[in-house]
Structure 1
Amino acid sequence: MQQVLKRLWGKIARPEHTSNSIRYWPGHWQKLSLVIWLIAIALLPFSDLEIISYDPWTELHRMLQGLLAPDFTATEYLFAAILQTVNFAVLGVAFGLVLGAPLALIYTHPVISTLCSLTRAVHELFWALLFLQVFGLSPLTGILALTLPFGATFARVFSDILRQSSDAPLTSTPRNSDRCSRYLYAKIALVMPQLLSYVRYRFECALRSSAVLGFIGMPTIGFYLETAFRQGNYHEGMALLMLFIAMIGGIRYWCRPRLIPVYLGLAFFTLAEIPSLDAGLIVRFLTQDVVPPAIAAASSLLAVDLGSLGAWFSEIVVEQAIPGAQVTIVLAMLALALTHLLALTGHGIASRQLLPKPFAYLGQFVLLIGRSVPEYVMAYAFLILLGPSMLPAILALAIHNGAVVAYLAVRQSDKLAASQVNFGRCNQFHYRVLPSVYPNLMALLFYRFEIIVRETAVFGMLGIMALGFYIDSNFAEIRYSDAIVLIGITACFNVVIDKVSRRYLSSSNQAQHCG
């Protein structure tokens, strides 16, 4: 029986290999998947998955009624909200490119790479909360909150793309050409399609982040969405959600490269009015509000009471950072396991290799909805439905990230050529298609883990006792120095998680190739 299975696999997956070189799928990745699920099961006793809502079915019924009968006329200033959402996204990406593109050329410097890692590890909402204390509800708050992490991300990704490109065209350029021209035409021009493709993807991310900024008062579509759901106006809320999904789904039609200059011009001219800045407020925030109490009370740096400073820092770490990090890890690992399950399911329901085209297109539409709705918005809706626990956050993270991973896996599997051996759709999918895309699916899952951890920390602002809960509480209680310390700890925490997951993924790839 074993020999029969070997021959069958050789015909379907690797017909050029002999039976002695056959590898059983998924091997290493199967063990890795099992480890993820074992960790998630082990963490279940430490999680809070209780449904606290008094009558979730009644609330769900009202949401479904709003979905079936959306009211597109209920929201006041709807066009202005959509316009500001696009404006923040356009300007955030534009200024992010201005910041990140030059840094990509020197990203290999340890100082630059460290600063960029810490900057992009802080979520846009945390940046917005920080700038909100200085600029208030000014467009500067939203634009800067997107520019800094996006610029750091552009620097990292552009640097990776440039390093992985071939250096051969550089050797064929004339010797008398200047260094800038050689690099521009023989290096950057070679990878320009990849760079533009990534910019387009980041713009889609910027639209989601711009919408979420409305939850802290910025004049984007998220502000009206949060208001509608909080007041129970689901006919209005579902209409706004449908408009936003249509905006994300149709981005390739309304955001073409030749229209970018037009959108940039409109963004500058139609941006909400920027109020005058109070220089004294900015100086006070930087020199007093964010300074630790022990330093602020001292007459000079030499007079700082180090014991008091250490006690203050230790209290933050023990009472806030460690409990918040524990909840963040538990929530993130449970979300990762469920993301894995939903990614496999989503890939199956949207793949044309398994289902007829009409059903596959329906599955792809479901994935579009899942990846278009921001995790924060989805978690907010689940919070209303299920009550304050880890469950809304886990569901939101898993649905969104599972849809993203499944969507990318479907794009890969749909490009596979049809097998010459006819074993039926189901067998072809499970014994040929899925083994081919599974390693990349797991790699995408690991790359999304950093995003899951970042979003998990932010969900504390919804009442979940993650790191964001303590950060938001400190801002609300005007303890800015405590909030800054927690934001820094969160950034370092996310950087460590990212490096560990990437290193493990790299070793996993090496183990797979050697195995």
Structure 2
Amino acid sequence: MIRHEPRWAFFGYWQRVSLVLLVITLTCFYWADTEIIALDPWSELKRIGLGFLSPDFLATEYLFEAIWQTISFALLGAAAGLLLGGPIALIYNKPIVAAICAFIRSIHELFWALLFLQVFGLSPLTGVLAIALPYAATFARVFSDILQQAPASTLQNLPANSDTISRYVYGRFAHVFNEIKAYVRYRFECALRSSAILGFVGMPTLGFYLESAFRQGHYHQGAALLILFIVIIGTIPYWCRAKLIPVYFVAAILLLPEITTIDSSLVWRFLSDDILPPMFQSHSVELLSSDKWVLFGEWLNRIITEQALPGVLATLLLAVAALGGSYLLTIIFTAVSFKPLTGSFITAINNVSLLILRSIPEYIFAYIFMLLLGPSMLPAILALAIHNGALIAFLVARQSAATVYSQHFNGKFDGYAYDILPRIYPNMMALLFYRFEVILRETAILGMLGVATLGFYIDSNFSEIRFNGALILIFVTALLNIFIDIASRKLLATHSISHKSC
């Protein structure tokens, strides 16, 4: 008896996943608000172009202080996250620890900054803690994944009376030290971007002056700041040497702005009153009154139906459309990055382009596209797709460069698609679906530009001093990110290699 395979089985696993992803992407793009309503985009584009052709590096007051604060916040935040997340990685296999870390890292640094602003004000503590908390949870997860890959055979060769610390250091940590070091270096690059973004809420980093310059149309100044930021990230291997890190660390602590005095009464009011639902803020003895719980139910229902659900829908439409765009750009950028296919000159130009595109914060991309295309989801989709596509392509290109191709490789695209792409494709998809969680978080920033995602409603609640509503929406955001993380892990569990490098 001949067994007929279903037609769907004609496609491989990743072919099916890719086709489904593209179909869902096109559907989300169709339903998303992508109308172009800009009145005169070409004149604005000309002004932006002239700004980049003649950047004014002397226009920004306190430029060197802003550069140093950007670096110091990133360094201290990443270091604090490393000190917290490293030990937690050893117990990350406990479900309660993994759940807490998932919740913490699912909240964007910008939201942590907005929360800490209510407690510490524009203090260095706000910037450092806003980076340290989500980074600690991320370090814990990634280090746990890396340590699980350490071979167990070494432990069997250690003396039987070896203490626990020695068995851990020599039996597990030594095997994966290079991978951990590489990830910490990459995470510091991410911390620099996070530090710059904190300037959008008033912290004295490059992002503060960058946003101000673009908002006021001072493109010569904005271009200069953006170029400096790209140079800082692109030259990390040269100025961020291991021997110099202790010096930078001490200087970062000594040269931080003065920590403002914290009013304990305001902190207590925020924690005990401001974040409570309105019906419970009076501290009435009738806390258990059924009337108050009815009012609470009505209040919560309004937030869920009028803000949370529309925000979740818009966030998913935007994020999925951006994910599909990232996938297409990754395919293109990765192919162009393969030197045997395109040659040394084109590969070098492409690598410089990837550095620029992954260094520019999505917020700036979205703002520029909004000037050109008008206020809709389209600028946000393009910003997220370009930034994440360039970042994933940069990571995958390193794997393809190390891939040994067969002697039958013909140096053409069909040879690349047959010989190289199948080898790097699982890792590329793993990185892509991992970045989906990050894309969801990044919609928070773009919500501050007026795109009606969850970030837009959260920012509106903070602006209107309705911290209780903001916390509810932040909680919804965290749950959405956790759900996406679980779904992506299940999708990748048996069909791809680890995505720890992202």
Relative to the length of structure 2, the TM-score reads 0.94
Deviations 1:223-252 (A, max 9, x none): 110011011111110111011011111111
Query: Are residues 114 and 424 of structure 1, via their aligned partners in 2, closer, same or farther at CA, if it must alter by over 3 Å?
Result: closer
Q: Are the counterparts in 2 of residues 53 and 385 from structure 1 also a CA contact under 8 Å?
A: yes
Query: Are residues 45 and 431 of structure 1, via their aligned partners in 2, closer, same or farther at CA, if it must alter by over 3 Å?
Result: closer
Once the two structures are TM-superposed, the CA of residue 457 in structure 1 deviates from its matched residue by 3.4
Which residue is equivalent to 2:111? 126
Once the two structures are TM-superposed, the CA of residue 418 in structure 1 deviates from its matched residue by 4.2
Once the two structures are TM-superposed, the CA of residue 178 in structure 1 deviates from its matched residue by 2.0
Which residue is equivalent to 2:351? 364
Q: Are 1:137 and 2:114 an aligned pair?
A: no
Return the alpha-carbon distance in structure 2 between the equivalents of residues 387 and 186 of structure 1.
57
- Tell me, which stretches of 5 or more residues in structure 1 are unaligned? 1-23, 511-515
Once the two structures are TM-superposed, the CA of residue 141 in structure 1 deviates from its matched residue by 0.8
Q: Are 1:302 and 2:264 an aligned pair?
A: no
Return the alpha-carbon distance in structure 1 between the equivalents of residues 446 and 254 of structure 2.
34
Which residue is equivalent to 1:207? 192
Which residue is equivalent to 1:451? 438
- Letter paired with 1:353: P
Which residue is equivalent to 1:333? 320
Which residue is equivalent to 1:317? 304
Which residue is equivalent to 2:175? 190
Question: Residue 465 of structure 1: SS of its match in structure 2?
Answer: coil
Which residue is equivalent to 1:486? 473
- Letter paired with 1:195: I
Which residue is equivalent to 1:116? 101
Q: Are 1:427 and 2:399 an aligned pair?
A: no
Deviations 1:231-289 (A, max 9, x none): 11111101110110111111111111111111100100111111111111111100000
Deviations 1:138-170 (A, max 9, x none): 111111100100000011111111122112222
The CA RMSD measured in Å over matched residues stands at 1.7
Return the alpha-carbon distance in structure 2 between the equivalents of residues 348 and 425 of structure 1.
10
Deviations 1:189-219 (A, max 9, x none): 2222111111111100000000011111100
Q: Are the counterparts in 2 of residues 461 and 469 from structure 1 also a CA contact under 8 Å?
A: yes
Return the alpha-carbon distance in structure 1 between the equivalents of residues 125 and 10 of structure 2.
51
- Tell me, which stretches of 5 or more residues in structure 2 are unaligned? 1-8, 498-502
Query: Are residues 239 and 382 of structure 1, via their aligned partners in 2, closer, same or farther at CA, if it must alter by over 3 Å?
Result: same
- Letter paired with 2:190: C
Q: Are 1:172 and 2:180 an aligned pair?
A: no
- Higher mean C-alpha displacement, 178-187 vs 198-207: 178-187
- Higher mean C-alpha displacement, 302-311 vs 333-342: 302-311
Identity %: 54
- Higher mean C-alpha displacement, 53-62 vs 319-328: 53-62
Once the two structures are TM-superposed, the CA of residue 363 in structure 1 deviates from its matched residue by 0.7
Return the alpha-carbon distance in structure 1 between the equivalents of residues 173 and 11 of structure 2.
37
- Letter paired with 2:249: L
- Higher mean C-alpha displacement, 399-408 vs 321-330: 399-408
Which residue is equivalent to 1:10? none
Q: Are the counterparts in 1 of residues 409 and 419 from structure 2 also a CA contact under 8 Å?
A: no
Deviations 1:75-122 (A, max 9, x none): 111100000000100000111012111111111111111110000000
Q: Are 1:468 and 2:455 an aligned pair?
A: yes
Once the two structures are TM-superposed, the CA of residue 384 in structure 1 deviates from its matched residue by 2.5
Return the alpha-carbon distance in structure 2 between the equivalents of residues 117 and 382 of structure 1.
32
Q: Are the counterparts in 1 of residues 409 and 416 from structure 2 also a CA contact under 8 Å?
A: no
Return the alpha-carbon distance in structure 1 between the equivalents of residues 74 and 472 of structure 2.
28
Query: Are residues 422 and 396 of structure 1, via their aligned partners in 2, closer, same or farther at CA, if it must alter by over 3 Å?
Result: closer
Return the alpha-carbon distance in structure 1 between the equivalents of residues 163 and 427 of structure 2.
40
Question: Residue 104 of structure 2: SS of its match in structure 1?
Answer: helix
Relative to the length of structure 1, the TM-score reads 0.92
Q: Are the counterparts in 2 of residues 93 and 146 from structure 1 also a CA contact under 8 Å?
A: yes
Query: Are residues 175 and 396 of structure 1, via their aligned partners in 2, closer, same or farther at CA, if it must alter by over 3 Å?
Result: same
Matches within 5 A, 1:83-162: 83-162=68-147
Matches within 5 A, 1:243-392: 243-297=228-282, 298-299=284-285, 301-303=287-289, 305-392=292-379
- Higher mean C-alpha displacement, 348-357 vs 394-403: 348-357
Which residue is equivalent to 2:4? none
Question: Residue 340 of structure 2: SS of its match in structure 1?
Answer: coil
- Higher mean C-alpha displacement, 97-106 vs 436-445: 436-445
Deviations 1:430-458 (A, max 9, x none): 22122222222122111111111111233
Once the two structures are TM-superposed, the CA of residue 35 in structure 1 deviates from its matched residue by 0.8
Once the two structures are TM-superposed, the CA of residue 422 in structure 1 deviates from its matched residue by 5.3
Q: Are 1:231 and 2:228 an aligned pair?
A: no
| Matched residue count | 487
Which residue is equivalent to 2:14? 29
Return the alpha-carbon distance in structure 2 between the equivalents of residues 436 and 186 of structure 1.
30
